[in-house]
Structure 1
């Protein structure tokens, strides 16, 4: 362990000032000397406050020195992420999870995302270099100050997953060919409703979401949708394909494909497996839904689409990969009336 030096810390005075011990369930140790441990405990807490973020806390000199990470811990060394230095927390906070009441500082739910031991390589008021040993995060990281409370966190090791790939910067969606009739071999297809909405790809990462349109160009999503969807997936990066539709007077993101998840592109996976993976995410809320799909029963889906006044159905080959930007015969749009 490196020799002890000045830490970016101010004790627990600020922590106590910001909290009402009678209202918050957060630990509130009595004033007095802080305990001393081995300076080797870390915790990362997922904090669903006004905006989702992750709190990295490192035991140092009897307190937990803390940074708020708006997009979480970087999984690879290619991208630095913002780390905002916050007030020190008591050591008891390393085991805290619960609901901070509305109106209190940091109101919202707090859960432990990862915890473990760490080693210190460098620690001063402008740079903290550490090695984390957690169940979700392990490896060498450095936090470095960029100005005031703003720091950056950088992973120094290669990705823990050697096959990890970041989300693509831009992708054009796959398109369907128009056909008058349903395919003859319906057992080879999965069928979806054609919603007639605005095509949108959603790039979800670090609790945030950006959208692109049918041409792969960046567009704004409906107000509040991106943050809410990002909060649902949390730290799991994902690329979703879907449409913005209007249902019962409200905008809804109807999701029908999964193109990338947890650092692994899924474009070469068959449609059947991508849909099973999407269903497994259980994405359903007031602002978004996972679109239903029906293997091998196109006639019934088409009849239902006609009754619901939808434009048609989409027939997608169960064994087909996703072909970005291509109008492929593997996907067929069949109108409700030929």
Structure 2
């Protein structure tokens, strides 16, 4: 019988990597476990592994499992892995094959609907990964993965920013608003999906931010501002989070979800906001030479285009 782990062992030195390197496959015929591992290696990807005849048949999926049937994702068929890899997590040393951090993203069981040399249909039963999928081979050695059931997430919202209306006086019901600095920068909406963002084409340094999200989807609203002579991206709204659109939610809910992300980095941060504190924020804006203050109604949804729920006030 062919040794299904020969290729796996040939790429690993058990004296240099904490990965399991067994002598032979584990004889568990009929097993139906799966694992998806998040792998921060040379490039972020997810490893899908399905138990089959005592080994974990594996595919590397650069953008993770597709969330809806409208988008197929690349899946690179890799070597079979040992069953011990179902629970493996840790740091593979740099310089070794697959060097980087690996965590278990989800695990569970799966049902096989079809298993052929060029096509595998299956149903995942996990906490985060669930639904019907098909892996199919295209030309050459390339594989793709397709979701066969309904969308697992809301569609992304239109990437059009909400804009404030100019006003000279503080609203009388100031307690119904949160007050933020007007930064005087350039508006930037940042969509994040599969640990990547299209915004990195113009701003390559955003790749680190996108990768830090892992498989979490998001659309962030912010502004490129110059503070202390350095360019900084300040985020002040969250339109989409982890598969759910937040545009219909009130500002207070979106703001709480944004702050929960704890976005703090060398090139980005979460903008501060002060509910009901109109005059102190205006005074601080004057002292810092900022162009004004934005008053945002606490109960306002996110409305692309000009809105009277956001007011741009002079400092």
Q: Is the pair's TM-score, using the shorter chain for normalization, greater than 0.5?
A: yes
Alignment of 1:1-338 (within 5 A): 11-30=4-23, 33-37=24-28, 38-159=30-151, 161=152, 164-168=153-157, 170-211=158-199, 220-225=201-206, 227-325=207-305, 327-336=306-315
Alignment gaps of 5+ in structure 2 = none
TM-align CA RMSD: 1.9
Partners of 2:26 and 2:41 in 1: CA distance: 29
Deviation per CA, 1:204-223: give whole Å up to 9, x if none: 11111123xxxxxxx83421
Whether contact under 8 Å (1:42, 1:115) holds in the other structure is yes
Other structure's SS at 1:181 match:
coil
Whether contact under 8 Å (2:58, 2:81) holds in the other structure is yes
Gap change, CA 1:329 and 1:304, over 3 Å in 2 = same
Structure 1, 14-23 or 190-199: larger mean CA deviation: 14-23
Other structure's SS at 2:198 match:
strand
Alpha-carbon offset, residue 72 of structure 1: 0.8
Other structure's SS at 2:13 match:
coil
Partners of 2:212 and 2:220 in 1: CA distance: 13
- TM normalised by structure 2 equals 0.93
Partners of 1:153 and 1:138 in 2: CA distance: 14
Alpha-carbon offset, residue 193 of structure 1: 1.0
- TM normalised by structure 1 equals 0.87
Alpha-carbon offset, residue 139 of structure 1: 2.2
Alpha-carbon offset, residue 309 of structure 1: 2.1
Alpha-carbon offset, residue 190 of structure 1: 0.3
Gap change, CA 1:165 and 1:39, over 3 Å in 2 = same
Gap change, CA 1:14 and 1:245, over 3 Å in 2 = farther
Partners of 2:226 and 2:20 in 1: CA distance: 45
Other structure's SS at 1:16 match:
helix
Alpha-carbon offset, residue 249 of structure 1: 4.6
Runs of 4+ aligned residues of structure 1 deviating over 4 Å after TM superposition are: none
Alignment gaps of 5+ in structure 1 = 1-8, 212-218
Partners of 1:242 and 1:303 in 2: CA distance: 22
Whether contact under 8 Å (2:223, 2:235) holds in the other structure is yes
Alpha-carbon offset, residue 267 of structure 1: 1.5
Q: What is the count of residue pairs matched by the alignment?
A: 313
Whether contact under 8 Å (1:222, 1:251) holds in the other structure is no
